[in-house]
Amino acid sequence: MNPRWPVGTANRGPFLYGPRFDGLFLFGTVGIALVLGALATISPAMFVAVVLVDIWLFASPHVIATYTRIGFDKAHIKRHWFLIFGLPPVVLVLVTMVALAYELGGLFTLYFIAQTYHVARQSFGISRAYRRADPQAAGPDRLSETLIYLFPLWGLMHRCTTAPDSFYGYPIYLPPVDAALTGATGIVTIFVCAWWGYRQVRLAMAGRLKAGHSLFVASHLLVTAVAYLWVTDITSGWLVVNIWHNLQYLQFVWLQNVRRDAQGRLDTQKLHRLVKPFKNAGKYLALCLVLGAVMYEALSVAGRQLLWLGMPTVFILHFTVNFHHYLVDGVIWKRRKPAA
């Protein structure tokens, strides 16, 4: 990593961290998601292989990455005790209630809708991070942020209009949406997208284009359009956006830990050694991989041991962890920095 872009300072220009990191963040994640998504369509066996790659290398580690921000040492655990110990039982009860009322179809429906919102929120947060990283950017970009939400909304409405009846081979009960309403939303979205594109061209001609921010918004629009609008199969489309989301999350959380370390806000030497130099990103990823694999297998074993309850306990446990991760994210990324 180029040392001329210090982490946690305001002179990074259009980058979150530097050209190499941002190149991988903006282009590498999109490329991997699209390539793996295309490979998954070759055959059922290849689809299973890509799903396993996503689960073991991306999805489970990305959930673990969340907990490196709230439970890595005693200080973190004391600060976030309710998120770590109090919230999971609440989520477990709610997920179990959904499973009892609507069975697996209800769980997969809730998951698909919540995941769509979760990914949109992540893109919203990253777009603002790019704006903050550029000292020449003047506050939030409301037009881009509107577009970030409009595309997933249109995509979700499109899925509801096409009314798929299965997701990963299990039932899904998306609420019906009239085709005319979806079409109207699409027209508005395309108009806003054209307006945004025109504005970016004008900014580029004037030499005032925020390249990092613009490229990220464009990547969000591309992946969302492919996953929700272009790919007809709901499961294959979900796989594309999920891979992209997981990869970006892993990188972004690592970057936030690096920044906390550079600003002296990282209160654990273990995490400090993992994130301080860029070359130790491999150690950080390895930690997330190992702990993610342990977590996934532990949940699967526990779920199978509880099948005698007559409920889909494997899915209940896995969805509990997913939804808990969504809620924790909604809290920790909104926390204000402590006063100096």
Tell me the pLDDT of the chain (340 aa) as tens digits. 333 334 444 445 567 888 888 899 999 999 999 999 999 999 999 999 999 999 999 999 999 988 877 766 677 777 878 888 899 999 999 999 999 999 999 999 999 999 999 999 999 999 988 888 776 666 678 899 999 999 999 999 999 999 999 999 899 999 999 999 999 999 999 999 999 999 999 989 988 888 888 999 999 999 999 999 999 999 999 999 999 999 999 999 888 877 776 665 555 555 556 555 445 778 888 889 999 999 999 999 999 998 888 889 999 999 999 999 999 888 877 654 444 3
C-alpha span between 9 and 64 (Å, rounded) = 27
- The sign one gets for the Cα dihedral 306, 307, 308, 309 is positive
Nearest to 168 by CA among 113, 109, 251: 109
How far is the C-alpha of 278 from the C-alpha of 285, rounded, in Å? Answer: 12
Tell me what pLDDT residue 5 has: 37
Query: Computed over its alpha carbons, how large is the radius of gyration of the chain?
Result: 20
Q: For 238, phi and psi rounded to 5 degrees?
A: -60, -40
Angle at 242 between CA 118 and CA 187, to 5 degrees: 70
pTM of the model: 0.88
Question: CA-CA distance, 130 to 141, in Å (whole number)?
Answer: 10
SS3 167: strand
Beta bridge partners of 170: 167
Query: 203: buried, middle or exposed (CB in 10 Å: 19+, 13-18, 0-12)?
Result: middle
Phi, psi of 250 (to 5 degrees): -60, -45
- Strand-pair partners of 169: none
Question: Would you say 218 and 26 are in contact if contact means Cβ atoms under 8 Å apart?
Answer: no
Question: How many CA atoms are closer than 13 Å to the CA of 153, on its beta-carbon side?
Answer: 17
**Which pLDDT belongs to residue 162?**
94
- The CA-atom distances, in angstroms, between 250 and each of 104, 291, 325 are 28, 14, 13
* DSSP at 69: T
Cα–Cα distance measured from residue 287 to residue 61, given in angstroms and rounded to the nearest whole number: 8
Cα gap 239→230, rounded to integer Å: 13
Please write down the long-range contacts of 332-338, taking CB distance under 8 Å and 24 or more positions apart.
Answer: 332/66, 332/69, 332/70, 332/80, 332/83, 333/125, 337/265, 338/265
pLDDT score, position 10: 43
Q: For residue 37, what are its two tokens?
A: 């998504």
Residue 11's pLDDT is what? 47
Amino acid at 180: A
Q: How many residues does the chain have?
A: 340
DSSP label of 85? I
